[in-house]
Amino acid sequence: MKPWYRNLAAIAVASSMGLAGCGGQSEQELLASAKTYLAKKDEKAAIIQLKTALQKNPQSGEARFLLGEALLKSGDAAGAAAELERAHDLKHGDDQVLPLLAHALLATGQGKKVVDRYADVTLADPKAAATLKATLAAAYAAQGNIDGSSAAVEAALKSDPRNVAARLLRLRLTAGRGAFEEAIASVNSLVAEYPKDAEIWILQGELLWVARSDFDGAMKAFRQALAIDAGQMRAHTGLIQLLVQKNDLAGFKAQVAVLSKAMPDSFAARFYTVQLALAESDLKAAREGAQQLLKITPTYAPVLQLAGTIELQSNALTLAQNHLTQAVQAAPNVPVARRMLAEAQLRSGQPAKTLATLRPLLDQARPGADVLGLAAAAHLQDGDLAKAETYYALAAKADPTDPKARVALALTQVAKGNTEIGFTQLESLASTDKATYADLALISARIRRNDLDAALKAVDRLQGKLTDKPLPHLLRGRILVMRKDLVGARASLERALVLDAAYFPAMVDLAGIDVAEGKSQDALKRFEALLARDPKNHLALLAVADLRQRNGVKPEEVGTLLTDAVRFNPAEAAPRLALVDHYLAMRNSKVALATAQDAVAAMPDNLQVLDALGRAQLAAGDTQQAISTFRKLAVAQPTLPQPFLRLADAYIIRQDFAGATQSLRRALDVTPNLLAAQSGLVRIALATRRVDDAVQVARTVQRQRPTEPVGYVIEGQIHASQRAWGPAVAAYRSALERDRSTDGAIRLHALYSLAGRTADAEQFAADWLKAQPRDARFLFHLGSIAVDRKDYARAEARYRQVLAVQPDHAIASNNVAWMLVQQGKPGALTFAERANQLQPDQPVILDTLASALGAEQQWAKAVEWQRKAVALAPNAPGYRLNLAKLLIKAGERAGARVELDKLAALGDKFAAQSEVAALMKSP
């Protein structure tokens, strides 16, 4: 039953609706009332009256005009522009409408529209003409067209020499020429002439701020403007910006509250509310507010810059680059947006793009230390240590007090090989600086050089600075894991959780140790305990889903967990992406596509979700829709190569090699040395029988990466695909010279074997093992080669050599067991049981274990283990065939028939149908 007061309220509303047509004020009375309120500067009351008047007569041009005026004075420039456009359409007088409409358009960042529309418009009323020309002059100035602005000012003053707006703009132009003192003297005269004109006080404040850095004088002027007219937006924003510059967060917060109270619906109030949320690290509220601002002004540079800053602080680098790229395009001369875009590009691993973005700032007479530091970091990331050091030195010279510049110089020394100098500098900085920047850089550098003892000492010092924080214990735990001290690592990570029970990185690392020690259930319990405290924690839900999947639970159970994560956290992208990937991994493309479509509907602006939709469309066979989706991604992320790679994959599936090639070249335009794109071009060239073009791409990679093996590996693969064994061997040898790794050795040996050069393969293997006798991976490779040749005795010997080096190598133990079974030798069961102990519940190992039990004629146990293998891998028909054979051996003909019928139903999908048929006919 509804509360009585709700029923009463409903009756009151119904009654008022019934009376509305029978009485109340007339349209003219409402307009007169609104004008009275406007004269009293009570815009809220005026707006109410005018909206009521428009309900009576929506086609009233005067009501539209007055509503636009009221909205503009209240700070809602976008709403004002909309109403004034309607007033203009309804033929309300241009002399009244156009000056205000131009003002509203300019206030919403549409200066170009003002110029395009009103540059050649002449109004009949001189004062109205002067006002319009003054606004036009401001629009020209906003676009950097000083000549156009000056001409419009003079035209305004010709129409009305006393037009204050034009006189103020003339003073702004005077100040723009550097004649600050002349402008200040003139504005002081205007203050004396018009002491009650808030606009004049605002200009005085701006000049004192910019010309003399007189912050107190500027703030006094802005406050005087607000005392005259609390609706003066530029006075509010001037005060707010001064407080930001003074780093006065409390004052900033208080002034935003004043603005929000005075003009709650204004764009500026919303903008600075978002900025305040960002300053207070409330990224969720900041992002939501920024999205609302972007809906109002999607191309306004300050809003785009603010949105980019929010995503940058959230580590959403793709979205940050998207917003900041648009901000730079909209306002190319604004250094802050350009600098932040460069930072986002650098953090995304795009040093060339970073330097291109920074170039206009670097070309200035005196670039700032922050700009020089970014350029240095870009060169360092790009491997150009000499230029990196040059820029770091310039950054340190530009701001010798910035410890980050000195830390960067020390890191450059380390990168150049001057490790003693670099680490001495880092140690000194970490010892003397209360901040942690140098400590973290030092720890990172020590770990990269595998100097783990020194890294631990650096962590000890960091802990002294962060006594109640979990970070030092997390870092110590990770270093101890690298030292294989799992006991010590566990203790450190558990200490981190004592300090912060919800510290997820420590929980993840502890779970990793649990899994490494075969205690996956303990890992699972950690996250389940977190879920008991916080049932909707999507990170914990994702971790539980992952661990249960590793433990072999049914895919449906994993899907339920991920669905819960989505249901509890509909605004989080990670659970939705995990659910899409889960269904794609299950090859359930239909459900994956529906899930991705739901995700896009819930968060249409999330580019990762859009990427998941494209992948799901591709898996579902809807190639054209996938191409359309990836094109949207490419338009939204023109500075990233990934969307172009996705497009190329889609085009290749459609056999559109020209489209794929174009997409890959676009990716290379973004990142010139992108291996994924270069490899794609090689695949296309080979598919279209353009071998020379493929080789050219490989040679390009070699020039770009002269010390790396990858370019020569690609060339070797090209020649091998054409059975050109000589050039292939030469390329693989060149690769091995640059990286004497096991991978390189395996590649070259396999090529010799493939080419039929058995003697060369044997000699190479002997030489390699002479130099690296304990290379378990190479020995395992030799065993696999022997298996391919059905040389089971030699394969057994190789796998036994692997076990001599790595006794806990489960697959080697499994393979020895299988070789013994194939040769009819005893002892297979011991090796198979050991393999299952090391890696339990792996179908391939269970299959071998069943065969070993069969070799011992333990048919019941053999059937039991083989059934487990089939249950874990129901779509692997080979395991089912082995089960049928064991059932026959065990005398269970009926059970065998069931399995053979399932295999026969597969038809051509199972190649061993002749063996199935033979078994079905056997007595």
**DSSP codes joined into one string, 476-522:** HHHHHHHTT-HHHHHHHHHHHHHH-TT-HHHHHHHHHHHHHTT-HHH
DSSP tag of 264:
T
Retrieve residue 464's tokens: 């002294």
Which residues have CB under 8 Å from 162's CB, separation 6+?
none
Retrieve residue 731's tokens: 């390329």
User: Residue 635: what pLDDT?
Assistant: 85
pTM for the whole thing?
0.56
> What CA–CA distance (Å, rounded) separates 877 from 869?
11
Residues of the chain with pLDDT under 50: 1-23
Which residues have CB under 8 Å from 896's CB, separation 6+?
884, 885, 887, 888, 919
User: Residue 15: what pLDDT?
Assistant: 27
Do 215 and 209 meet the contact criterion of CB atoms below 8 Å apart? yes
User: Residue 383: what pLDDT?
Assistant: 66
Own/partner contacts of 431-436, CB < 8 Å, gap of 24 or more, are 431/461, 433/403, 434/465, 435/403, 436/462, 436/465, 436/466
Dihedral angle computed from the Cα positions of residues 610, 616, 621 and 626, in that order, rounded to the nearest 10 degrees = 10
Which residues have CB under 8 Å from 438's CB, separation 6+?
403, 407, 426, 429, 430
Which residues have CB under 8 Å from 761's CB, separation 6+?
749, 752, 753
User: Residue 21: what pLDDT?
Assistant: 34
**What sign does the dihedral 647-653-654-659 (CA atoms) show?**
positive
The gap from C-alpha 142 to its chain's centroid, in whole angstroms, comes to 33
Residue from 251, 256, 262, 214 nearest 237 by CA: 256
Dihedral angle computed from the Cα positions of residues 591, 597, 600 and 602, in that order, rounded to the nearest 10 degrees = -80
Residue from 84, 138, 146 nearest 111 by CA: 138
Dihedral angle computed from the Cα positions of residues 582, 587, 588 and 592, in that order, rounded to the nearest 10 degrees = 50
> What CA–CA distance (Å, rounded) separates 361 from 354?
12
> What CA–CA distance (Å, rounded) separates 892 from 890?
6
> What CA–CA distance (Å, rounded) separates 213 from 236?
18
The amino acid that residue 501 corresponds to is: A
Which residues have CB under 8 Å from 291's CB, separation 6+?
307, 605
User: Residue 24: what pLDDT?
Assistant: 57
Which residues have CB under 8 Å from 26's CB, separation 6+?
56
Do 70 and 38 meet the contact criterion of CB atoms below 8 Å apart? yes
User: Residue 680: what pLDDT?
Assistant: 94
User: Residue 5: what pLDDT?
Assistant: 28
Q: Where are the alpha helices (DSSP H) in 60-159?
A: 61-74, 77-89, 94-107, 111-118, 126-142, 146-159
Which residues have CB under 8 Å from 545's CB, separation 6+?
558, 561, 562, 565, 578, 582
> What CA–CA distance (Å, rounded) separates 418 from 414?
5
